[in-house]
């Protein structure tokens, strides 16, 4: 993914980035499905029950970005499809390269 495509999806925070995501729970497999407005669209295989989709989102992003699972934090949108995730210690350039 190019840095120009990511610019509207991220904002800087202290020590990392906030990434806007639009999730689609209950998909056949977990993967990045593109850009949806001003959010990164992510299809999740987990159902939207008991926080399973939220947990899968954090684990998927941690694995994709090579970050510790416990460091990726969901900061907004616990019960919504539109979520904000904090990614510590990563720059926009690193994010673009790994996505």
**Which sequence spans correspond to the domains of the chain?**
13-86
What does pLDDT average to over the chain? 91
Query: What number is the average pLDDT over the span 45-65?
Result: 93
Q: How far apart are CA 8 and CA 17, in angstroms?
A: 12
Q: How far apart are CA 11 and CA 17, in angstroms?
A: 6
Query: What number is the average pLDDT over the span 92-96?
Result: 87
Fold that domain 13-86 belongs to in CATH = Conserved Hypothetical Protein Mth637; Chain: A; (3.30.1200)
- At 2-22, the pLDDT tens digits run 878 888 899 988 889 999 999
* Res 73 pLDDT > 80: yes
Q: How far apart are CA 83 and CA 26, in angstroms?
A: 16
Q: What is the pTM of this model?
A: 0.89
Query: What number is the average pLDDT over the span 77-91?
Result: 92
């Amino acid at each position: 993914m190019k840095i120009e495509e990511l610019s509207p999806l991220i904002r800087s925070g202290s020590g990392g980035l906030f990434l806007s995501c639009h999730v689609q729970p209950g998909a056949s497999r977990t993967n990045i499905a593109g850009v949806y407005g001003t959010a990164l669209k992510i299809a999740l295989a987990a159902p939207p029950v008991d926080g399973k989709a939220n947990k899968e989102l954090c684990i998927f992003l941690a694995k994709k970005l090579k970050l510790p699972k416990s460091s990726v934090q969901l900061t907004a949108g616990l019960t919504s499809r539109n979520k904000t995730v904090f990614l510590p210690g990563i720059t926009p350039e690193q994010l673009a390269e790994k996505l």
